[in-house]
Structure 1
Amino acid sequence: MSVIAAPSIKEAPKATGIGGSRPRRHYATHLILIVLAAMWLLPLGWSVYTALRPIASTNQYGYFSLAGPYNFDNFIAAWNQGGFSKYFLNSALITVPSVLLTLFFSSLMAFAVSRVNWKFNITLLILFTAGNLLPPQVLAAPLFQMFKHLNLPYWFSDSGTLLNTYISVIAVDTAFQIGFCTFVLSNYMKALSSDLTEAALVDGAGIWRQYWSIIMPLCRPAFAALGTLEVIFIYNDFFWPLLFIQSGDRLPVTTAINNLQGVFLSNYNLLAAGATITVIPTLVIYLVLQRQFVAGLTLGASKG
């Protein structure tokens, strides 16, 4: 009786990459990303850890110890002593108008240099981009003198000038951020198909209708990414508010930590709690807009 041999089961071919080669494993890239993430998260984690410890525990055991109780007393004391509720409102009065005006004006300029064919579009884009190469501190003295000698009615400004007003800080923040946003938005708008605006032009849509009804809705991912960055940039700005605003009750939250400084010694646990409180709004905004932020950065990276 003959025995029929069972067919041999061949081993499944291993997954290969392009051209039959094995997929490349980016161990070095992952290692670099892990190291960079640790470098960014370590100071924040150390600040939170220090803020959760009473000053008595760190004085007794040292800052590089794990002993002692953990509570939120430093956060409560920093909030009450630093007056963060008032300073957060001041920061909102500066940040929100600055971001909205920056995105609006930069979108207008980006549309003009990317979607409209005229003689000076490249020249203006270069000028707007070159403005970011100038250090802001170089213009500190001229801007201060200009705002100081610009007379305004006292019902508009209690100082009679643009100094000690939110308008001065909003104007300067907007002016210095427009160049960067124009550069990013112009590149984003160039990637959009020209058939969209050509079809709208055939249907009788004017320039403003093309900008507002066609291009602006398509730029939402870019606006989300830029809006997140601009909130972080302007919210964390310390230089311009401190230069133009003299009244302590109008300063933004970045200056509230000064209220936690002692005359003869400093409670670094209290300062760490205050610094952590100031970081919370930017973290919340980034977490809420994280998906739109990543989409705005990666959209248009590949074509086809």
Structure 2
Amino acid sequence: MSVAPAPAPTKATKPVSAPGSRPRRRGRWGTQIFLTAVSLGFLAPLLLAVYASLRPYDETAEEGYFSLPKSLSFDYYEQAFNDSEMTKYFVNTLIIAVPGVLIVLFLASFVAFAVSRLRMRGGIVLVMLFTAGNLLPQQVIITPLYALFNQIELPYWMSDSYLMYDSYWAVLAVQVGFQLGFCVFVLANFMRTLPQEIIEAAIVDGAGVWTQYWRITLPLCRPALAALGTLQFTWMYNDFLWALVFINTGDKLPITSALNNLSGQYFTDHNLLAAGSVIVAAPTIIVFLLLQRHFIAGLTLGSSKG
């Protein structure tokens, strides 16, 4: 019985690079450099505010804001937090923002489920109406809303002014009303991408409408809800106009109004104001970091298939 000779070892060939790989790599580097430059451009005001808040005002007045520091400290942060009474204003903001986000997401998800999963008649028209409401400039109805809220009476446990004006309910109602359309539009389009077979299987198993909504659809919408929750909290938290118009008592104003307490009548320490601005921006940054994974997943939904 003869044994076949082993094949002779072949010389390893050097892999041939695909044509066009170098230009493609250069294009990738160019994209990264461009995105880095744009990100630094957006971060520049925040970084400048942080840098100015760590320096004494006399030093920046003499050397300029773009000079090297002689000393850095966190004294302005303690002074800004104490002088503006930020704890009280933080609580006022949370009273408006947290219920506002929860109410908007609940109502928007309920409407989006009805128009996208129940196949109701006129669902597309209803979504168009909600979306068209966002096209209305909010400032044009300030005067009608001001007159209306001064005529709506509330019990004392809801408003110490016995009116909807000068209460948290006025700002909360406006925030929910204007943010609802955008959330309905986003959630309705997302729910349409969910497989219809899931709802059909649930119906076969005897699931009612509430079970289909609460236990089946909402868990699948978690990335979209997290992304919308982050955006809604940021918008409601940073709102300044509606609170300034509909709240008259200074102790009820939100955190954005607390920065006015750091401005003097004849002189304003801009480094102190920068420290206060950084403190005010901190909660929105924390919320984004906590929901970052869900927020990015919500933004990238539908970007690829398969």
Range class of TM-score, shorter chain: over 0.9
* Counterpart for residue 77 of structure 1: 79
The 5 A counterparts of 1:272-283 are: 272-283=274-285
- Which amino acid is 1:245 matched to? I
Q: Deviations over 1:71-118 (max 9, x none)?
A: 001001100001111111111101000000000000001101111112
Determine whether 1:10 maps to 2:9.
Answer: no
Q: Distance in 2 between matches of 1:128 and 1:237?
A: 21
- Which amino acid is 1:125 matched to? V
* Counterpart for residue 104 of structure 1: 106
Q: Extract unaligned runs of 5+ from structure 2.
A: 1-7
Q: Distance in 1 between matches of 2:245 and 2:10?
A: 84
The partner residue of 1:126 within 125, 128, 133 is: 128
Q: Distance in 2 between matches of 1:173 and 1:272?
A: 27
Q: Distance in 1 between matches of 2:275 and 2:100?
A: 27
Shift of 1:61: 1.9
Q: Could you tell me the TM-score, scaled by structure 2's length?
A: 0.93
Q: Distance in 2 between matches of 1:56 and 1:30?
A: 39
Q: Deviations over 1:132-179 (max 9, x none)?
A: 111111111111111011122334322121011111111110111111
SS at 1:301 equivalent: coil
Count residues with an aligned counterpart.
296
The 5 A counterparts of 1:1-304 are: 7-14=10-17, 16=18, 22=21, 24=24, 25-304=27-306
Q: Extract unaligned runs of 5+ from structure 1.
A: none
Q: Distance in 2 between matches of 1:22 and 1:66?
A: 44
Q: Distance in 1 between matches of 2:258 and 2:161?
A: 23
Q: Distance in 2 between matches of 1:289 and 1:151?
A: 39
- Which amino acid is 1:13 matched to? V
CA gap 1:176/1:267 in 2 versus in 1, 3 angstroms? same
Shift of 1:263: 1.0
Shift of 1:64: 2.1
Percent identical among aligned pairs is 49
Q: Could you tell me the TM-score, scaled by structure 1's length?
A: 0.93
CA gap 1:21/1:195 in 2 versus in 1, 3 angstroms? farther
Q: Deviations over 1:45-85 (max 9, x none)?
A: 00000000011211232222113210001001100001111
- Which amino acid is 1:235 matched to? Y
SS at 2:197 equivalent: helix
Q: Deviations over 1:166-222 (max 9, x none)?
A: 111111101111111111111111111000000111111111110011001111111
SS at 1:26 equivalent: helix
SS at 2:166 equivalent: coil
Q: CA RMSD in A?
A: 1.6
Q: Distance in 1 between matches of 2:229 and 2:167?
A: 24
Q: Distance in 1 between matches of 2:190 and 2:101?
A: 19
CA gap 1:195/1:128 in 2 versus in 1, 3 angstroms? same
Q: Distance in 2 between matches of 1:157 and 1:225?
A: 33
- Which amino acid is 1:209 matched to? T
Verify the 8 A CA contact 2:55 2:69 in the aligned structure 1: no
Q: Deviations over 1:267-291 (max 9, x none)?
A: 0000000001001000111111111
Q: Distance in 2 between matches of 1:9 and 1:170?
A: 71
